[in-house]
A and B are shown apart, each in its own frame.
Chain A
């Protein structure tokens, strides 16, 4: 019986404890890193039926966001443009481009172009675009520098804590109403932004709710 456990067995219990701690720490780190929209959603860049280039249309041609997303100020839902909106120009501009085949097909058949949705909140979140863009929250705050994107991708995590960051401290993100759709605008930095934000909050009587029922109904 005396020789059943060798001398090395004396060190086994602390080794097991250290091993479990290492595995535990790595598991926690892995979940914290991967089980969040910062990993699962950010960077999603699906292939669209038409390779629409926002940088060309917004920065190159100077089109306003609302030329296509025309109800963003009036509706909770920011619409994808109708085929007619595209065809206003594209019956004449690049009318034969193979990249626009899906658009021409839609124009002829009346079937919508099947764009792939990039930003999609869970169905139990009721986000209202008009409530935000009419109170000085720019497209930029959620969608990033779309004016420079050749292909649109998911820029921000849209997690609940991320929403609350702004709902609790809007002064860091608000901008003057006339700059909401101006994605190339450089926001002031540091204290200047906070001072401007506080002023805008006072002027616009902005009081973002952090009540559950604001977004979950």
Chain B
């Protein structure tokens, strides 16, 4: 009996030292104990597929393809241009909700470089990013809405486009929020509704 117990404890010790404990950090791929249909030969997002010669499961759309959700018959909403010129004005309803969306998207996608107030002092500028403009300069304040939309979509100078990450409506919401930021840095007391003025003046 003693020999048996000794053997069993040796075996347990051997198994535990080879397999390790739960949650140990490891680089080996997870074992699939019951692999039935766990990995199927189907096309999956952002995964390689040997069905296509370039091994991409995510296919490029045919050139010229437009998503059915894009308002193709509304060129200004979609491009920011009217004919050969920048359009001005925001072609979606601007409400508190729009500005909230705009602020949220701005803080996700823009503030890392442009800064939360749009002064061009985002965190990335401390790490060697150069040429970030200040939204409160006269040049940017005079920029038509359509041009700002175009820059968000396709980028400009050193900035790459964010058109793939933001829907047209979200981009317009960001334009609206940028306008709000610009207003916030250049507002006069006369812009404040009379009812609110007293509170601002501390009376």
Contact = CB atoms under 8 A, between A and B. Distances in A.
Contacts of A34: 19
A173 to B, nearest CB: 20
B79 to A, nearest CB: 20
B59 interface: no
Given A23-B8, A61-B112, A82-B164, A43 B39 contact: no
Given A39-B22, A46-B27, A79-B45, A26 B112 contact: no
A87 B160 contact: yes
Nearest to A57: B112
Contacts of B186: none
A47 B4 CA distance: 42
Nearest to B167: A74
Contacts of A87: 160
The B interface is mostly helix, strand or loop, or mixed, namely loop
A35 B42 CA distance: 27
**Chain B interface size, under 10 / 10 to 19 / 20 to 34 / 35 or more:** 35 or more
B161 to A, nearest CB: 8
A112 B27 CA distance: 22
**Chain A interface size, under 10 / 10 to 19 / 20 to 34 / 35 or more:** 35 or more
A89 B109 CA distance: 12
B120 to A, nearest CB: 14
7 contacts: A19-B4, A22-B5, A45-B25, A79-B45, A88-B113, A112-B56, A123-B39
Interface of A: 15, 18-19, 22-23, 26, 30, 33-35, 37-47, 61-64, 66-67, 70-71, 77, 79-80, 82, 84-85, 87-89, 91-94, 112, 117, 122-124, 153-154
